[in-house]
Structure 1
Amino acid sequence: MNKEWLKVYIAAFFEVFWVIGLKHADDFWTWSGTVISIVVSFYLMIAAGRNLPVGTVYAIFVGMGTAGTVISEILFFGEAFKLSKILLIVILLAGVVGLKLVTKDKVQEGDES
């Protein structure tokens, strides 16, 4: 796996935390965690976008973040489980995986592989 794509995946992971934090934060520590998650998430997404197609990076970032947020809300915060919602998340993730598969990584100077 390319380290630039790893940045995108980690950025999406932190996106889940800050989106949930925006809804559930209610004290200094939870707001601090939310702000830290925003900074880490956007820093990694922007860094990855320097070497990967920005549109694809953003689509994957948002798609994975959306899926993670919806699933987290169901598992940890009592959001109603709806089969239609899960089916739509699966379709979204299929699109994200498809984008990843058809996107070519830029070859760095001096990198022959």
Structure 2
Amino acid sequence: MAWIILIIAGAFEIGFTTCLKLSDNFSNTKWSIGFLICITASFILLNKAIQTIPIGTAYAVWTGIGAVGTVLMGIVLYKEPADFWRIFFIFLLIGSIIGLKVVAK
């Protein structure tokens, strides 16, 4: 269950970074509120997950989910480059996240 909570926390991290961009320096109230909701949920769920999962592993996985998701959101929403090396390193990061899950007790 802790791993599911951690994945959901990572999804909220993607949400708060996306809302941060859309908040336009916190001048857009709707997206600023979305940012606050997502960041709060993300940290609460991360805190819940680290009660079971080692903190180093949980933090790395949480950050990795957020990083991969945010890069993909940038590619999809903001037409950021999706060249070979960016995609290669995204897959490398995903492989590292999976590796941490596999070796965690």
Compute the TM-score of the two structures, normalised by the length of structure 2. 0.93
Within 1, Cα distance between the matches of 2:81 and 2:90? 14
Q: Give the aligned partner of residue 11 of structure 1.
A: 9
- Per-residue displacement from partner, 1:40-76 (whole Å, max 9, x unpaired)? 0000001100111010000000011100000111011
Q: Report how many aligned residue pairs link the two structures.
A: 102
Q: Give the aligned partner of residue 56 of structure 1.
A: 57
Deviation at 1:24, TM superposition (A): 2.1
Within 1, Cα distance between the matches of 2:91 and 2:54? 23
User: Aligned runs of 1:1-113 on 2, under 5 Å?
Assistant: 3-26=1-24, 27-104=28-105
Q: Where in structure 1 do 4 or more consecutive aligned residues deviate above 4 Å?
A: none
2:20 touches 2:31 (CA, 8 Å); kept in 1?
no
- Larger % of helix: which? 2
Larger of the two Rg values belongs to structure: 1
RMSD across aligned positions (CA): 0.8
Deviation at 1:77, TM superposition (A): 1.5
Within 2, Cα distance between the matches of 1:80 and 1:95? 22
Compute the TM-score of the two structures, normalised by the length of structure 1. 0.87
2:19 touches 2:34 (CA, 8 Å); kept in 1?
yes
Q: Give the aligned partner of residue 109 of structure 1.
A: none
Q: Which moved more, 1:19-28 or 1:47-56?
A: 19-28
Identity within the alignment, % = 34
